[in-house]
Structure 1
């Protein structure tokens, strides 16, 4: 599928996906929502892609839903319940696909990551920020609930329920320094170094075997909601045996012993 607002660049086993609506701070219009959903859903079946780097063009990551574009409205300007729910599910399916796809996702977050953009950053596996990064649950500032597009699932698990409540009940911005203190982002680098830092993370991930990388993301996702230690151990045991049967495991051992 050829995309209009999502630019894809293939670099070996890595795909760089860039939201490209800089004149609107990469806000999510219907077309970009459709393209993100199609891209991430399709990744589930792709073995040629091992890592994804998600970026925003210009000086922003994603400013959230494009409020200038509204459809399915009644004559009084309000969206019908049916149209609203359909539109909501079309967006929320993106973050479900992001967690379901086996490829680790590195989010290079520069500038604004608000509302839906915040959700996209949280749904990624690793987040890298710049000093001008500002993230918030903007939904509550426009009369909606801050619990939207997976934010109420991801944020408390990452920073704890008290801090999540602080930012979700107020809509306050999390700046880069605070995000790093909370462990919400892994690095804070200058804007001009952001791409190189994303590439460095991707390179390190590619040192893993294809199967080991995929199963590690899968196990991490399940471990967050596992019933207990024994359930997690059982899943880890299964993954190690699966990886040990793969031809790449033998090569990995040889590479380690030969220091290469």
Structure 2
């Protein structure tokens, strides 16, 4: 334990800090290496669709990440040259048409909770998107902090194509903030695919990579984030999310409080001392 942990009551630590490198995922692949957690949706024969089980497990894992001490950035990718084809037609869509309102609301709240936990966990999330990225897969990409794509990626918010509204899992709130109101409206009304190069121009993708280098580039970016002041990165993510609903005056005051808190960290002192010594700071996340 480090010095800051030694000062904390063990019962508080036990309830609020945990290691997730040893977590055994049941419905996707999970690996932690040098602070980077990688989620691989692993049903390549069906282009990696989500099921009731994988929705719930993803929701729960992102919820646990709030307390993880050994994961400082997360990469989400798909196996077999595709990201995610959305909800499984046979395992989700078929059963949904037989349910009544209370159970349908249970499902839609569960899917929304996945987005909530993705936004609430302090770790930056990077989606590495190749091939098909549709429906709920497009939502997972949208809910990530950063998106790397390929020229052959095809992102589609397909909800209206199956008789549903485009207001799914926060799409009407988040997508316009990423690509603009008009462009988001086009995608949500038509359900058409957004190609990789167009997605980069629109700002949906931070950059494009070759398919062969995509995962490596995403994990490299995640590693760079892990080398930074991870506590401060978590504050940045929190403020980027919370300030959507604030006035400018509220945002400035909230940032003043958040930045003052970061100034109390040892990482802030380390950065100053490294600058004085003309060295690169070695951040430890405290």
Name the TM tier (shorter chain): over 0.9
For 2:268 and 2:252, the matched residues in 1 are separated by 20
C-alpha distance in 1, partners of 2:244/2:80?
Answer: 34
Aligned to 1:96: 116
Contact 1:18 1:54 in 2 (8 A): yes
Query: Counterpart of 2:252?
Result: 233
Which secondary structure does the structure 1 equivalent of 2:213 belong to?
helix
Q: Which residue of 1 aligns with 2:143?
A: 123
Structure 1 residues 208 and 70: alpha-carbon distance in aligned structure 2, compared to 1, 3 A threshold = closer
More displaced stretch, 190-199 vs 123-132? 190-199
**Root-mean-square deviation (Å):** 1.7
- Give the distance between the partners of 1:165 and 1:105, measured in 2 at CA: 25
2:78 is the counterpart of 1:59 = no
Partner of 1:3: 25
User: Number of paired residues?
Assistant: 257
Q: Which deviates further from its counterpart, 117-126 or 216-225?
A: 216-225
Query: Matched residues in 2 for 1:146 and 1:194: separation?
Result: 29
- Inter-partner Cα distance in structure 1 for 2:86 and 2:204: 19
How far apart are residue 251 of structure 1 and its match?
0.8
The answer (yes or no) to whether the contact 2:156–2:191 under 8 Å persists in 1 is: yes
- Distance in 1 (CA, whole Å) between partners of 2:95 and 2:256 is 52
Give the TM-score taking structure 2 as reference length: 0.86
Equivalent residue of 2:122, what SS? coil
- Choose from 274, 277, 281 the match for 1:255: 274
Give the direction of change, closer, same or farther, for the CA distance of 1:72–1:164 in structure 2 (3 Å limit): closer
Q: Would the alpha carbon gap of residues 111 and 73 (structure 1) be closer, same or farther in structure 2, given more than 3 Å must change?
A: closer
TM-score between the two structures when normalised by the length of structure 1? 0.94
1:18-97 matches, cutoff 5 A: 18-70=40-92, 78-97=98-117
Residues 4-61 of structure 1: CA deviation (Å, up to 9, x unaligned):
2211111111101111111111101122112211111111122221111111111111
- For 1:148 and 1:90, locate their aligned partners in 2 and report how far apart those are by CA, in whole Å: 12
| Matching residue of 1:189 | 209
Instruction: State the Cα deviation string for residues 163-204 of structure 1 (Å, max 9, x = none).
Output: 111111000110011110011111101011112211221122
How far is 1:73 from its partner? 5.3
Q: Which digits, 9 at most, give the CA deviation of each residue in 1:114-160, with x for residues without a partner?
A: 11000000000000001111111111101111110111111111111
1:138 counterpart (130, 155, 158): 158
- Give 4+ residue runs of structure 1 displaced > 6 Å after superposition: none
Partners of 1:104 and 1:232 lie apart in 2 by 21
Task: Determine if contact 2:149/2:208 at 8 Å carries over to the other structure.
Answer: yes
Task: Name the residue aligned to 1:17.
Answer: 39
| Structure 2: stretches of 5+ with no match in the other structure | 1-22, 281-286
Q: Distance in 2 between matches of 1:71 and 1:125?
A: 28
Aligned partners of 1:20, 1:191: CA distance in 2, in Å? 17
